[in-house]
Structure 1
Amino acid sequence: MTFELSLLATPKSVPELRDHLRRHSYDVRLCVSELLTNVIDHVGEGTPVTVRVTDTSYGRTRIEVTDPDPRALPVLLRATASEESGRGLALLDALTQGWGVEQGAGHKTVWCEVVRTTPRSP
């Protein structure tokens, strides 16, 4: 199963996107939220993005968020207890089976994979 949606990265779009993915696991929705929030914070609010969620043949769900800025690369930080931000990729790193960045001409895709669980009933 593949879900794909093009949207503008805004704070309002984060819960709306989670709602579109309500049949997916909490981990998938959390990862999508973190990746979309990173675009808002580091590329800019209103950036056009494409979100893809795909079940792989090897038992994982792959989440991809593509934006038009190939230069604004994510960096894994270790935030201190007193810092208010900087934990998004650390959370992704701990929660997922892997994550990374694929750069292209005029865009980048940040992806991660989580172990697939049985979908919830509607």
Structure 2
Amino acid sequence: MTPLELRLLATPKAAPELRRHLREHGFGVRLCATELLTNVIDHLGEGTPVTVRVTGAAHSHTRVEVTDPGAHAMPAILSATGMAESGRGLALVAQLATR
């Protein structure tokens, strides 16, 4: 598969656009990239500029990177309670990434 590098603003409308650009990749890749984009919106704010890079072959490992200008903290997996409306995105990405 062709490596992808996409620069966009982290907005809710960017998520479907990102999934369209990743249509040749599997569901897990699209879900990971979307979750990482959503993490930027939630923690740095809507409209934050991001770069999404996806590299790898169709039947090999795929690398998904979402970079942003927020160098002040690294993302951390939270322990979400059963009724919490958020806090599961990075745990989901971690589980998908091991596949």
The verdict on a shared fold, with TM-score over 0.5 as the criterion, is: yes
Residue 86 of structure 1 deviates from its aligned partner by 0.3
Check the 8 A contact 1:53/1:61 in 2, yes or no.
yes
Which structure is higher in strand share?
1
> How do 1:8-87 residues align onto structure 2 when only pairs under 5 Å count?
8-55=9-56, 59-87=60-88
Runs of 4+ in structure 1 off by over 4 angstroms are none
Check the 8 A contact 1:42/1:72 in 2, yes or no.
no
Find the aligned partners of 2:53 and 2:94 in 1 and give their Cα distance: 19
TM-score, normalised on structure 1? 0.75
Find the aligned partners of 1:95 and 1:17 in 2 and give their Cα distance: 18
The SS at the match of 1:29 is helix
Check the 8 A contact 1:5/1:52 in 2, yes or no.
yes
Aligned-pair RMSD on alpha carbons? 1.5
Percentage of identical aligned residues: 64
Check the 8 A contact 1:43/1:72 in 2, yes or no.
no
Find the aligned partners of 2:79 and 2:96 in 1 and give their Cα distance: 15
TM-score, normalised on structure 2? 0.92
Name structure 1 gaps, 5 residues minimum: 98-114, 116-122
Residue 72 of structure 1 deviates from its aligned partner by 3.3
Name structure 2 gaps, 5 residues minimum: none
The SS at the match of 1:52 is strand
Find the aligned partners of 2:89 and 2:80 in 1 and give their Cα distance: 10
Q: State how many pairs are aligned.
A: 97
Find the aligned partners of 1:72 and 1:19 in 2 and give their Cα distance: 29
The SS at the match of 1:39 is helix
